[in-house]
Each structure stands twice: as structure tokens, then as C-alpha cells.
Amino acid sequence: MAVIEAVIKFRRGTASAWATADPVLASGELGYETDTGRYKFGDGVSVWTDLVYKDLAETIADSTAIGRSMLTAANDVAVKTLLSLNNVSNTSDVNKPVSTLQGEAIANTLTTATGRAVAFSIAL
């Protein structure tokens, strides 16, 4: 099977170059401003200055309100808040609580591996 390699490039230029040329982009064609990082999609009719800027959250068709909020969140703390993970910390594994079921599984594994019984207790 032949492998075909391709490079896809979008039309790009500075904001002032786009405004000066004011081209009509083909329907679905993307135009990227290299100095601002903003972009627009053509509709095949409107000139550049009449098109609206898009952002990542708007171009993801299936993004939910939470998804959009996560994409535009100011920082990781804001994302944790959106996901109700405010109380999640970077506690080391040694200090994390273990459920009774997890403890029993660990004890059974150690017993099988070492041939010696391992006691497990959980503090409530």
C-alpha cells in the first residue's frame, strides 16, 4: 500500500494584510492572522472584514457548556472548580485513604505473593 504524505496549510497573513486585501474566502476556507492568532471561516460571499472571528470553543460542534467553559477557563483552578474537583489534591499515594475492599485486595495479593498471611485493618 502506498503512503501519501501531505501538508495542509491555511491561508495566513497579518491582520493588516488581511484587512488591506479584504479577500472573499471560499465556503469553509480558513484564514489565519499570524500576528493575533485569530481566525475566520469563509462563506464564499463575504469579504474578510465582514466575516466574524471564531474561537476554539465555537468551532467544536459538540462542545457542551462545561466543555466550552473548560476550554476558556483562566487556569487549572477554574477547571477544577467547574468539574467540582476543588477538594482533590496532590496527596502522595502513601497518605491517600484506602477502602476496605482495596485493602483486602492488597492483602490477598501480598498473601499470594509471599505465602504469608497479611493483616489488614482500616481506621474509621
Rounded to an integer, the average pLDDT of 54-68 is 62
Which structural domains are found in the chain, ordered by start? 1-54 (2.10.10), 91-124 (no CATH)
CA distances from 115 to 101, 102, 119 (A): 20, 19, 13
Tens of pLDDT along 31-54?
Answer: 999 998 889 989 999 999 999 988
Model confidence, pTM: 0.44
The 3-state DSSP class for residue 47 equals strand
Tens of pLDDT along 80-104?
Answer: 776 767 666 666 666 666 677 777 7
